[in-house]
Amino acid sequence: MRDVCIVGGGVAGLAASIFTSRAGLETLVVDGGESILERNASLENYPGFPNGIDARRYLQLTREQARNEGSTFELGRVTRVEPVDSAIPSESREAGEPGVETDLEKGFVLETEAGEPLEARRVIAASWPNSDFLEPLDVGRKQRGNKHFVSVDEGGRTAVDGVYAAGRIADEPHQAIIAAGHGAKVGFAVIHDSDANFYQDWVVPEGYFTDRGREVPPGCEEINDEERRARDERARETMLEALAEPLDERPTMHPSVDRD
Ligand SMILES: Cc1cc2nc3c(=O)[nH]c(=O)nc-3n(C[C@H](O)[C@H](O)[C@H](O)COP(=O)(O)OP(=O)(O)OC[C@H]3O[C@@H](n4cnc5c(N)ncnc54)[C@H](O)[C@@H]3O)c2cc1C
């Protein structure tokens, strides 16, 4: 039983996983395809890249960051999510029979197209444009055109305790930085709702808290100048290597465009 399973390893799912992993929650990202951002030709409005960045490179770097923080990955489409509390036949639950109550504290089982079912205490759907796998749960989906969005509160919580939605699937504006920010925010809600001991995810100079007679709060870290320089060196090496050569990969075309 993992702490968190994130369905969708695109922009929002990866951002959520970075935060939940850094907070010490065992996080698995299950991804069944490619991010819609793979269709972008040049990502030019993501803060931090003054002349833009190749969108596929951005996704690669973000995946690497999630891995470095301890997130694990599995390939495959999630097809169904149900409470672990399967002692209750799903037909009875769906029929809303009196006295039938599901213990959501026991977590959820996720079925995938290939492989063994997965279990997690909490599930984040970051799976634009697909949320059919949530049908067995009454999370509150709304249809607009041929798309379904998942209704959430300000922390990305759905109507079902332990189930969250992040990014475009939660009806956030269709921009990468917004999906990333929302993923991070939903990751925070998951951390808050779990029993992780957490204040903020900050790395600060040595003495920032302790020289004021405060303990370093949970989730924060004080580092000395030598360590700061070592981390800076590693960060620059990673970026120099990643950006040294252009990527061969090209954007994915819209499926309805016929190139022949
Ligand atoms: C052509 C194009 C160009 C764009 N250009 C820009 C731009 O320049 N700037 C900008 O800010 N935004 C741009 N966007 C928008 C941006 O790509 C999206 O807003 C952003 O990627 C949404 O992030 P997300 O995490 O919600 O979805 P995604 O990044 O699409 O991630 C969703 C992930 O969930 C996976 N998934 C779906 N269903 C399942 C399932 N059942 N099981 C497992 N995994 C599943 C998908 O395979 C995918 O990897 C562009 C979009 C398009 C289409």
Q: pLDDT by residue (tens digit) across 3-20?
A: 999 999 999 999 999 999
Is residue 129 within 8 Å of 121, Cβ to Cβ? no
153 burial type by CB count under 10 A (0-12 exposed, 13-18 middle, 19+ buried) = exposed
Same domain, 123 and 210: no
Distances (CA, A) of 227 to 127, 142, 158, 206: 37, 49, 41, 10
Q: Give the confidence band of 198 by pLDDT, cuts at 50, 70, 90.
A: confident
Same domain, 180 and 209: no
Q: Tens digits of per-residue pLDDT, 70-125?
A: 999 999 999 999 999 864 555 665 666 654 566 777 899 999 997 889 999 999 99
pLDDT at 140 over 70: yes
Residue 132 lies in a domain: yes
Same domain, 86 and 148: yes
Per-residue pLDDT, 197: 87
Same domain, 109 and 14: yes
Same domain, 56 and 123: yes
| Of 110, 31, 37, 12, nearest in space to 72 by CA | 31
Q: Give the confidence band of 189 by pLDDT, cuts at 50, 70, 90.
A: very high
CA of 233 to the centre of ligand 1 (A): 31
Take residue 48 and report the two structure tokens written for it.
């931090």
Residue 26 lies in a domain: yes
Ligand 1 atom at shortest distance from the alpha carbon of 77? 42
Ligand 1 atom at shortest distance from the alpha carbon of 13? 25
Same domain, 83 and 97: yes
Same domain, 161 and 251: no
Q: Which residues line ligand 1 (CB under 6 A)?
A: 7-13, 30-37, 39-40, 43, 45, 77-78, 126-128, 130, 133, 167-169, 174-177, 179
Give the count of alpha carbons within 13 A of 18, CB side only: 19
For residue 149, the 8-state DSSP code is E
Is residue 161 within 8 Å of 123, Cβ to Cβ? no
CA separation for the pair 126, 121 (Å, rounded): 16
Q: Helix, strand or coil for residue 166?
A: coil
Length of the chain measured in residues: 260
Pocket test for ligand 1, best of 35, 57, 135 (most atoms within 8 A of CB): 35
CA separation for the pair 35, 169 (Å, rounded): 12
Work out whether strand 108-112 and strand 118-125 pair parallel, antiparallel, or are unpaired.
antiparallel
CA of 57 to the centre of ligand 1 (A): 14
Same domain, 9 and 52: yes
Same domain, 8 and 113: yes
Q: Helix, strand or coil for residue 18?
A: helix
Same domain, 9 and 103: yes
Ligand 1 atom at shortest distance from the alpha carbon of 33? 47
Same domain, 28 and 145: yes
Domain of 26, in residue numbers:
2-198
Same domain, 49 and 71: yes
Count of structural domains within the chain: 2
Residue 260 lies in a domain: no
pLDDT at 38 over 90: yes
Residue 15 lies in a domain: yes
The DSSP H or E segment spanning 2 is: strand 2-7
